[in-house]
Amino acid sequence: MAQALVRFLAQQYVERDGVEQRFFAGCWGIFGHGNVAGIGQALAQYPEALRYHQARNEQSMVHIAVGYARMKDRLSTFACTSSIGPGATNLVTGAALATVNRLPVLLLPGDVFASRAAEPVLQQLEVPSRGDVTVNDALQTVSKYWDRIARPEQIIPAALNAMRVLTDPAETGAVTLALPQDVQTEAFDVPDEFLAKRVWHIERRPPDGAAFARAIELINAARRPLIVAGGGVIYSGATAALRAFVDRSGIPVAETQAGKGSLPYDHRLALGAIGATGTFAANRMARDADVVIGVGTRWTDFTTASKTLFEGASVRFINLNVAPVDAFKLGAIPLVCDARLGLEALTAAEWVIDERYRTKAEKLHAEWDAEVTRLCAIEQAPPAQSAVIGAVNAASDPRDVVVSAAGSLPGDLHKLWRARDPKGYQVEYGYSCMGYEIPGGIGARLAAADRDVFVMVGDGSYLMAPGELTTAISEGAKLIVVLIDNHGFASIGALSRSLGTNGFGTASELPIDFVANASSLGARAVRANTIADLRMALEEAKAATGTTVIVIATDPLASVPSYESWWEVAPAEVSEQEGVRKARQDWSTNKKRQRRHI
């Protein structure tokens, strides 16, 4: 069965716009008794069919697959195999990250014996009320498709269903096929058709005519329209269509985390980041907007500033999205369609947009650009994180990639990074998973070997998965890792202080030698004490052939402002701490600004 599955995966292709490519770039795996004799044997037997890659942690190998799929616009990914037990449960966090971010990855965890002859076996979870539960059931809630293969011939419908979901841009995410260790090794007569090349067509759905007519009517009546570009713009290859629409209509663009880079930062109608981690340019325009066109966004609370951002009394929404669940959010006119086709249809329609409104947006764009320059040029000791971001941005080429995920960095990067290429900004903020940064960077580099990948990671997140530096080195996936030592969990420390609890449980004064740690794992590691040191180290890292880690300490209190936005975290309703009582009052005030948009 395992041999049949490996050969099946090697023959899966996708095609979009006439371009065909292989869907699985290989299989990451860590072997144990649950998969070594099945999937492991099959990968060893057919190395030319599906290349095997060794990881150091099961969660990290899913992150690598996600980083790769993100760079490949969801048209290619990896399979990941683990043993039953802790290997399988280590997959759960990675699966959640993939599914939240709508990115495809196939998980192949081993499972207990289907025969149950020897149970309870090593690492088996015993549930007295049920005999069919294993730890793999924990993957059900974080998978878009889940199946347990109890007989070898069941792999045929299960594998086809897995591919159906993985290649569907509206449904994709983590897919789990739990493989009992005895069933993996059982023989059966495999139909030739199952092992033949199969091409999955990725359709581009046009908008519904009636819904489109309603959208056009609403836009033509608008005086202060705004576009919010999400990840769907980039995944569908719709950035050129977005620019054409913007140039013709004069409607300004704000970007979500996943959508950053949809429009180059220097376009005069690019307002930058929106929401809780947004710019004052985007948030001010959003506050007064009367029509908001969301393209490929799932409207998270960070994007809407916990539903306080769009304050217009009669504000209406139009959503272009391949996923109906997203298209119908905020009481929108839903255009369930491909982002590129939807934007092209909008561009072809007739408009009348107030020139004064365009001028206002262009003025805010220029003011924000000056603010970014100011923040990135701050000189102090220890340096501000904004100055570090500015130095890395300046050292990177337009097509280079920045990767980050958790802590204070994603918010600051969302505001300050000057994106010049649609694939140059890869910040995982759907799940904001600590430890994603280095493996996500590996995936990005494997997908785009002609680009330098700058991994920006805080000390707290780095300590979650430093071992993947060895994976980067063994795979020849050169990374430039900028490790910011701000002595703990800076993001939550700031949040804690804002909520009146004075950074409780978020600071660390342990004397960790990060340079020695990274060096011991095989990386070239250096310390930068100043921004000038950092600039020099970045140039040397770019010239180097292998992975470099640059450690720089920053001031955890030198933060970037929130720019007229709010994110809801509820403080205690009653407290003996004065700061908490004050935070509760502020929360109550902002809570009154929330809107349902139904």
With contact defined as beta carbons under 8 Å apart, do 223 and 357 qualify? yes
> Are 150 and 82 a contacting pair, CB within 8 Å?
no
Closest CA to 1 of 192, 176, 180: 180
Does the pLDDT value for residue 567 go beyond 80?
yes
Average confidence (pLDDT) over 507-536: 94
Q: Which helix (H) or strand (E) holds 405?
A: none
Look up residue 341 and give its two tokens. Answer: 């086709």
Residue among 143, 27, 29, 14 at smallest CA distance from 72: 14
pLDDT, position 351:
66
C-alpha 405/C-alpha 68 separation (Å) is 15
Mean pLDDT of the chain: 96
The residue assigned the tokens 């100043």 is 530
What pLDDT, in 10s, does the model give residues 237-270? 999 999 999 999 999 999 999 999 999 999 999 9
Peptide bond into 439 cis (omega under 30): no
- Average pLDDT on 274-278 reads 97
pLDDT tens-place string over residues 280-320 = 999 999 999 999 999 999 999 999 999 999 999 999 999 99
**Looking at residues 159-166, what average pLDDT do you find?**
98
pLDDT higher than 90, residue 368: yes
| 3-state SS, residue 21 | strand
Which helix (H) or strand (E) is 413 found in, with range? helix 409-416
pLDDT at 352: 64
| Per-residue pLDDT reduced to its tens digit, 428-477 | 999 999 999 999 999 999 999 999 999 999 999 999 989 999 999 999 99
pTM, whole model, 2 decimals? 0.97
- pLDDT tier, 492 (very low <50, low <70, confident <90, very high otherwise): confident
339 membership: H or E segment, kind and range: helix 339-348
pLDDT in tens, 315-340: 999 999 999 999 999 999 999 999 99
Q: Which domains does the chain have, with CATH numbers?
A: 2-201 (3.40.50.970), 209-367 (3.40.50.1220), 377-553 (3.40.50.970)
- Residue 503: its pLDDT value, please? 82
